[in-house]
Structure 1
Amino acid sequence: MSGRLFRSLLRPALYQLAGRDPETVHERTLAALARLSATPTALAGLRKLYAVDAPVTVFGLRFANPVGLAAGMDKDAAAPHAWPALGFGFAEIGTVTRWPQPGNPRPRLFQLPRSRAVINRMGFNNAGAEALAARLATAGKSTVPLGISIGKSKATDLADAVTDYTTSLRLLHPYADYVAVNVSSPNTPGLRSLQDRGALAELLAELRNETARLAEQRGTGRTPVLVKVAPDLTEDALAELLDVCAQHEVAGIIATNTTLARDGLHPAEAGMAVETGGLSGRPLAARAVEVVRFLHRTTDGTMPIIGVGGICVPDDALRMLDAGASLIQLYTGFAYSGPGLVKGINKAIGRAPAR
């Protein structure tokens, strides 16, 4: 497949068509990528265009390169084999919940192209953990590490959140190279309260016990568990969260999720600040780097960090790595710029002085 033909398929999902509903465009592009994902010759052509082999090992996993796909782009693993062909060194699917759920009412995804940003209040729309497990069982093993992000079902009371998460973990464990625990989305009521010390400790203790039990049952090593944090936490709250994560042998931190802040919007798009939901993209870049730097400094570099938030050009990625991230993830920047950004970042990392 030529680069021109591929761009003609992908660009609609990259928010290049003004006036189109972003979510509809996203769905149509995922469908196109799903078809590509099932076409070996197309995948081979894409790999020649975009794949970069720059392996790195973090929390015991070997990544093809340090640039990953963030959760949210492919919630139900519609196109698992497309992402490595587009140059990603790993991919994180989800966030998936124990029970299938439609998410919040539409419209719930808003593009802000002048700000290079997106506001979303999707609400974990997904087909559920059982459906994802069934899909992954037939999809075949990915050529790069596959992370699975798990969250709480909206219908589940906070008091029962631990059971919700552990059930999803049990269903998806055979297919996950790592599991990301999403307790930081702003779009599920009460979810961010699970970042509090007591609630997080209870949840992580049970997930640790469950991964140990599953590893013993299967005769394998324990699947790494990571925690995804909000950019809106104070340094004191982040330090407390790190303490809980260390106590419960968390393998790494993903920093950060979307923000409730509305700083940094282009003046022409300032009116979009009234839309509820999480803001991602360029306005989040400085805060995401600040959080990564704090986490890295506080742990003396002992806690691996996946840096995500506002990475729109290769220099953004280099700043994230300089702040202490071991790996990075893209979503909004990729949505605006396409797979050329993935390759550009990998090339820039290869040219940069050793860290």
Structure 2
Amino acid sequence: MPDWSYQTLFRPLLFKLPARLSRGLTLQAIGTLSKLPGGSFVVRTFGHMEPSPLLERELSGIAIDTPIGLSGGVDPEGIAHLAFAQFGIGFIEHGPVTYQRIHSNEPIVKDDRKEWIQYPHYYENVGVDHIAQLIASSKHRLPQFVRIAPMPNAGREQAVQELKGMMDKLSEAGADGFYLDVLHGNRNVEEAIAIGIELADILQTRTSSSLPLFLYTPPDYPNEALLALIQSLPKEAWSGIVVGEAAFNNSEGDSSYKVSKEGKADTLSKIELLRRNCSSDWLIKAGAGVHEPQDALDLFNVGADAIMLHSGLVFAGPGLPKRINEAIIYEQVKEWPTAVTPSFWKHWGWMCLLGLGMMIGGLLSWMIAATTVLLPYDLSFIGMTLEELHHINHHLLHFMSHDRITLAGTMITIGILYFQLARHGLREGLHWARTTLLTSGIVGFASFFLYVGYGYFDPLHAVAAVILLPMFLLAMRRNPDRPYRLPVNVRNDRLWRQAMWGQLCFVVLGFALSIGGLTISAVGITEVFVQTDLAYLDTTSAQLKEMNDRLIPLIAHDRAGFGGALLCAALAILIMALWGIQQGSRWLWWTFLLGGAPGFYAGLSVHLTIGYIDFWHLSPALFALLLYILGLILLYPYLMAAPEASAAK
């Protein structure tokens, strides 16, 4: 459920349902997908959210892939943790967790416009035994921290015993650290101090004391009371403090709490206070108000070492961790010296030459297909002249011209895509551009020989493969990934939301063209014709075979070749749409425009020229053209606009 599908399709539908139901459906869906064979591959492919090595950190001796974590309130039962672990996060929080399960059926309330969620019961959770089992059986490798809290209204002695018992049980299960949550409810600061001191003293002699221990505070907790608590705690027993996401309802007897974008202001203030008054080696994690990448940058800017996501995931979408990671990387690399452009001949230049070769080959093929249609070795294979072919069936040459012109247009499309991806992506070391070219290229070269099984060997295609394949191999060699060095989007603004619709159009277009390419290839190497083809030719396969048993292999060669080329182009478009959309990437918009135009023009114009205008035959192409035009229109403002400069210092 990437942002391009979440913002456009799923969020509007899910937000019409009761909040508990929509949360349950979402978690069950992505959780089930991640556990299916190949499900994790689907999540990674659609999202491409793996953190860069540049984001790796060490917090309290624990290695994390990125300083972005998942708050416990997002998935309190751990239904979809395996899926969330692939969203570009570096650690997972469980909690609040109490010694016994606390259940609530009261509704969760949310405000879509103001972006807040109100939960009815702060303590609602599945209990320590369930969480311990969940940690022990987890299939992901991310560090797991547990926010532990005493049972509601537990006295000091009972609270200490519960916390101690939970820490022992959870550390044995494999927990990596704890957040001590004793500042909620009606507990006064003196009692919280006593619990913290007594628990720290006990832990000095227990195995769980080796795990990091953090104090958990609500973002709106009184500053004077918090400072008094911090100053009273034994510093050596604590790793830092977590500024949580929960803003409490102050009504007596009301245990509801709210997470929202508004919590950011209190969190910023609290972090600044802690940095002024706490030990410099104390770590600070923050969990409120991060709804867009700029929010995360602001928290890091005032001193947070890590953040946790909650309501931001609900309102911005599952791509938020990836967008934050990209913003963090940009803040790191923008101060680096200007990168040295690799030599043209090192790798990317060979792909440019391959693209140019495809464009030249496509133009030549188009010229031949629009004039003589068949080459001498084609005629030699079937043992007929052009006049004899026309005499057999006056639509036959037009039909073969239609196949070859559409193939030529697709070749030009591939050439433009490859040239642009090489010049703007491969040259800059962009991982997604290299993956696009590698995937598309492997399919393209393999498809050259789809038609061989029908007994027709095309020497021109073979020569082209021999010339272009070394260029492809040279382009893929010695090509290390480098970070994206241009500014990235940090706002959930109108342009970004509109771009999600444009991205959806191109993703659907990529899938549709891929299905079309596979279908055409399959037909080309099996039945060769569809019903509308035979209706246009006013004949049957048997009659054609009877006239000349080599006609069908020749036509199959054209069809299979076109299907393979279409699949090659479709995969490039699909991966570009899935992974490459970045605000300000003007070259990408021009690549979509210039790359798609030859293919669509060739496919539609030749049908009109030869009179093959069956609606059902053309409807897939018309649907694809509609997606192409809408995608270009919707993406134009986003790809052409420079991202707003971040406020990070």
Q: Find out whether 1:44 has 2:37 as its counterpart.
A: no
Secondary structure, aligned partner of 1:351: helix
Instruction: Measure the CA separation in 2 of the matches of 1:122 and 1:84.
Output: 27
2:199 to 201, 206, 213: 206
Q: Find out whether 1:131 has 2:121 as its counterpart.
A: no
Secondary structure, aligned partner of 1:139: coil
User: How far is 1:37 from its partner?
Assistant: 3.7
> 1:15, 1:22 within 8 Å by CA — same for their partners in 2?
no
Instruction: Measure the CA separation in 2 of the matches of 1:156 and 1:40.
Output: 45
Identity rate of aligned residues, in percent? Answer: 22
1:208-227 equivalent positions in 2, closer than 5 A: 209-210=202-203, 212-215=205-208, 222-227=210-215
Larger of the two Rg values belongs to structure: 2
Q: Give the AA of the match of 1:22.
A: A
User: How far is 1:207 from its partner?
Assistant: 4.7
> 2:248, 2:258 within 8 Å by CA — same for their partners in 1?
yes
Q: Which has the higher strand share?
A: 1
With over 3 angstroms needed to count, the CA separation of the structure-2 counterparts of 1:6 and 1:290, relative to structure 1, is same
Q: Which has the higher helix share?
A: 2
> 2:159, 2:195 within 8 Å by CA — same for their partners in 1?
no
- In structure 1, the partner of 2:220 is 232
What is the TM-score of this pair, normalised by structure 2? 0.47
Q: Find out whether 1:280 has 2:278 as its counterpart.
A: no
Q: Find out whether 1:259 has 2:252 as its counterpart.
A: no
Q: Find out whether 1:19 has 2:20 as its counterpart.
A: no
| CA offset digits 1:327-348 (Å, max 9, x no partner) | 0111000111122111111100
Q: Give the AA of the match of 2:265.
A: A
Instruction: Measure the CA separation in 2 of the matches of 1:240 and 1:230.
Output: 15
User: How far is 1:298 from its partner?
Assistant: 1.3
Identify the structure with bigger relative contact order (alpha carbons < 8 Å, sequence gap 6+): 1
With over 3 angstroms needed to count, the CA separation of the structure-2 counterparts of 1:295 and 1:150, relative to structure 1, is same
> 1:149, 1:182 within 8 Å by CA — same for their partners in 2?
yes
- Following TM superposition, where does structure 1 have runs of at least 4 consecutive aligned residues deviating by more than 6 angstroms? none
> 1:51, 1:84 within 8 Å by CA — same for their partners in 2?
no
> 1:201, 1:244 within 8 Å by CA — same for their partners in 2?
no
With over 3 angstroms needed to count, the CA separation of the structure-2 counterparts of 1:11 and 1:120, relative to structure 1, is farther
User: How far is 1:4 from its partner?
Assistant: 8.1
Q: CA RMSD in A?
A: 2.8
Instruction: Measure the CA separation in 1 of the matches of 2:136 and 2:325.
Output: 31
Secondary structure, aligned partner of 2:38: helix
Instruction: Measure the CA separation in 2 of the matches of 1:180 and 1:163.
Output: 16
User: How far is 1:155 from its partner?
Assistant: 6.9
User: How far is 1:6 from its partner?
Assistant: 7.2
Instruction: Measure the CA separation in 2 of the matches of 1:350 and 1:160.
Output: 46
- In structure 1, the partner of 2:268 is 289
With over 3 angstroms needed to count, the CA separation of the structure-2 counterparts of 1:210 and 1:313, relative to structure 1, is same
User: How far is 1:118 from its partner?
Assistant: 1.3
2:294 to 315, 319, 323: 315
> 2:122, 2:256 within 8 Å by CA — same for their partners in 1?
no
Secondary structure, aligned partner of 2:81: coil
Q: Find out whether 1:35 has 2:36 as its counterpart.
A: no
With over 3 angstroms needed to count, the CA separation of the structure-2 counterparts of 1:137 and 1:235, relative to structure 1, is closer
Instruction: Measure the CA separation in 1 of the matches of 2:204 and 2:79.
Output: 26
With over 3 angstroms needed to count, the CA separation of the structure-2 counterparts of 1:245 and 1:352, relative to structure 1, is farther
- In structure 1, the partner of 2:345 is none
| CA offset digits 1:255-310 (Å, max 9, x no partner) | 13312379xxxxxxxxxxxx972222111111111101111121253211001210
Instruction: Measure the CA separation in 2 of the matches of 1:11 and 1:203.
Output: 47
Q: Find out whether 1:340 has 2:319 as its counterpart.
A: yes
Instruction: Measure the CA separation in 2 of the matches of 1:159 and 1:228.
Output: 19
Instruction: Measure the CA separation in 1 of the matches of 2:5 and 2:142.
Output: 21
Range with bigger deviation, 276-285 or 340-349: 276-285
Q: Find out whether 1:328 has 2:335 as its counterpart.
A: no
User: How far is 1:318 from its partner?
Assistant: 0.5
- In structure 1, the partner of 2:285 is 306
Secondary structure, aligned partner of 1:306: strand
Q: How many residues align?
A: 326
Unaligned runs of 5+ in 2: 336-648
Instruction: Measure the CA separation in 1 of the matches of 2:121 and 2:145.
Output: 20
Instruction: Measure the CA separation in 1 of the matches of 2:137 and 2:298.
Output: 39
Range with bigger deviation, 304-313 or 159-168: 159-168
2:149 to 148, 151, 168: 151
Secondary structure, aligned partner of 1:65: coil
Instruction: Measure the CA separation in 1 of the matches of 2:13 and 2:155.
Output: 39
> 1:226, 1:253 within 8 Å by CA — same for their partners in 2?
yes
User: How far is 1:20 from its partner?
Assistant: 1.5
Q: Find out whether 1:350 has 2:329 as its counterpart.
A: yes
1:182-201 equivalent positions in 2, closer than 5 A: 182-185=181-184, 189-190=185-186, 192-193=187-188, 196-201=189-194
What is the TM-score of this pair, normalised by structure 1? 0.82
> 1:67, 1:330 within 8 Å by CA — same for their partners in 2?
yes
Instruction: Measure the CA separation in 2 of the matches of 1:45 and 1:338.
Output: 17
Instruction: Measure the CA separation in 2 of the matches of 1:68 and 1:277.
Output: 23
